[in-house]
Amino acid sequence: MLRLTELKLPLGHPPEALPAAIVARLDIAPDALLSHRVARRANDARRRSSILMVYSVDVELADEAATLARFAGDHHVQPTPDTGYRFVARAQEGAPRPVVIGAGPCGLFAGLILAQMGFRPIILERGKVVRERTKDTWGLWRRGELNPESNVQFGEGGAGTFSDGKLYSQIKDPRHLGRKVLTEFVKAGAPAEILTEAHPHIGTFRLVTMVESMRETIQELGGEYRFEQRVEDVEIEMAPDGIRHLRGLTLHSGEQIDADHVVLAVGHSARDTFRMLHDRGVHIEAKPFSLGVRIEHPQSWIDRARFGPCAGHPDLGAAAYSLSHHCSNGRTVYSFCMCPGGRVVAAASEPGRVVTNGMSQYSRAEFNANSGLVVGITPERDYPDHPLAGIELQRRWEERAFVAGGSDYSAPGQRLEDFLAGRPSTALGEVTPSYKPGVTLTDLARCLPEFVVAAMREALPAFGRQIPNYDHPDAMLTGVETRTSSPLRITRGRDFQSLNTLGLYPAGEGAGYAGGILSAAVDGIRVAEAVALAMTGQQATP
């Protein structure tokens, strides 16, 4: 098969226009095209009056070798790449069982790959099975009742379960591991279009069902899930040569588990676990992350700004955006985790703290668009003292937000015009905030560092010049957004093991090696492969 890229057709073209365009592009007779399959579909909305659909297609031709020769040197006509996944090892009979801590996307894929290679992993998850967890999550959103062990951050499916389910990432992926992730998601019930859309998303309800289906697959392959089993301690043995080896885990029930190959996929909110690992001498470094708020606009404003007269076309869906501004104070403000047609959600996992994030359903049909509006911060400049200092900084501002919101898990909110003017809001305007259990109008500058406020005040008018109405006086800000990525890295070596503790495989977002569902899942695969290679006496190479 050959892959043809950058094939452009007008928005709303009939289906038969695609094979016709292939035939024309390759300059072949229509009957020389035996079959074709869309490999990727995107839109190019740079010219709003004539939006284009941009395709990559895999084509089967009567004479592929001759066509390839005719197009030698044209990088838009190439052999179709082999994106198939190959296992790197196979478990030996009676092999010990690896342990995976955390059932988020990273732990889920580490567990799945290990199970598919015959390793029968044990997956330990502090939170509940996903249906039970859903009730607890809604308990915070509807009644302001937080369960610190079962919420948006903790429980089966991990942090991305109640999300927009965006499934794209900027990571380098020469082995097409992202394709393996998407293929497994489709097997578990995701719509097949995620394999071809340039910016696929799943939405919350489907993610819940998919997570259940993947659990069943892992169990059928001999894996074992243990829910409500928080790992509270690690046993580390010092070998005579001075090298530290992980030997076991202690659960909060007091039960001890022997384990010398452990994938640590605990996500960015496992602050108690990070503290424990630091106390046990596991190498941890502070790393940059971002702080800010959520911003909401009616989705129709964003659709009009991005798609002009084509707004609402069914092939386009709800419009997304991505913005960035370098400020005079040296900070960068950017949009983060944009959720078209979704809602702002309460994403706290600790009592007495308020955190925002965003989610949507597959249809992306809710009234508002939301996005994080965040400012990059670094350990060197903002929390230099300790590897865990970023966590304390997050906590400080989450507590301020809790108090400013009225101490009942309502979030502090402000109209954009009032934020720019430095005065508390007293009434809503055109934009109704979607955050539940509710929003308390106030002055958000009380809940954010001064430099963050200054940077956001500079960036908002600049963003308004890129997206009309972005800086509309009534756009709604809700805070605080603190869990943009992990504030630390549990550094690993080339063999994927902790720099100073063999047998511990830090993985995913919490360890600082991923940011988002897809990259966390890909990291889970890579770490599972490293574990499998180590358990079968082979070397892992990153």
Number of separate helices (H) and strands (E) present in the chain: 13, 22
Amino acid identity, residue 264? Answer: L
Largest CA distance in the chain: 73
The CA–CA distances, whole Å, from 522 to 190, 221, 266, 458 equal 17, 20, 15, 36
The reply to whether 163 sits near ligand FAD by the rule CB under 6 A is yes
Distance between CA atoms of residues 453 and 293, nearest Å: 10
Residue 432 CB, nearest approach to ligand FAD (Å): 20
Do residues 405 and 411 touch, judged by C-beta distance below 8 A?
A: yes
Which one of the spans 86-94, 138-146, 237-245, 266-274 is the region binding ligand FAD (CB under 6 A)?
266-274
Residue 106 CB, nearest distance to ligand FAD (Å)?
Answer: 3
The interface mask with ligand FAD, positions 444-473, x = CB under 6 A, is ------------------------------
Q: How far is the CB of 162 from ligand FAD (least distance, A)?
A: 5
Q: Which of 219, 241, 266 is nearest to 112 (CA)?
A: 219
Write down the least CB distance from residue 380 to ligand FAD, Å: 24
Buried b (16+ CB within 10 A) or exposed e, 392-421: ebbeebbbbbbebbbeebbbbbbbbbbbbe
Q: Which of 23-31, 64-72, 122-130, 449-457 is the region at the interface with ligand FAD (rule: CB under 6 A)?
A: 122-130
Strands (E), 361-410: 368-377
Question: Under rule CB under 6 A, which residues in 75-94 are in contact with ligand FAD?
Answer: none
**Is residue 327 classed exposed, middle or buried when 0-12, 13-18 and 19+ CB atoms within 10 A define those classes?**
middle
- Complex with ligand FAD: residue 51 or 517, whichever CB lies closer: 517
516, 525, 530, 531: residue in contact with ligand FAD (rule CB under 6 A): 516
Q: Does the footprint of ligand FAD cover residue 291 (CB under 6 A)?
A: no
| Interface of this chain with ligand FAD, residues 165 to 184, rule: CB under 6 A | 165-166
The residue among 361 and 425 lying less far from ligand FAD, judged by its C-beta, is 361
Token pair for residue 139? 């308990």
Nearer to ligand FAD, 164 or 197 (CB): 164
Minimal distance in Å, beta carbon 151 to ligand FAD?
9
Binding to ligand FAD in span 486-515, by CB under 6 A: 508-510, 514-515
SS3 (DSSP) at 32: helix
The residue ranges that bind ligand FAD (CB under 6 A) are 101-107, 124-127, 152-155, 158-160, 162-166, 230-231, 265-267, 270, 273, 337, 345, 347, 357-359, 508-510, 514-518, 520
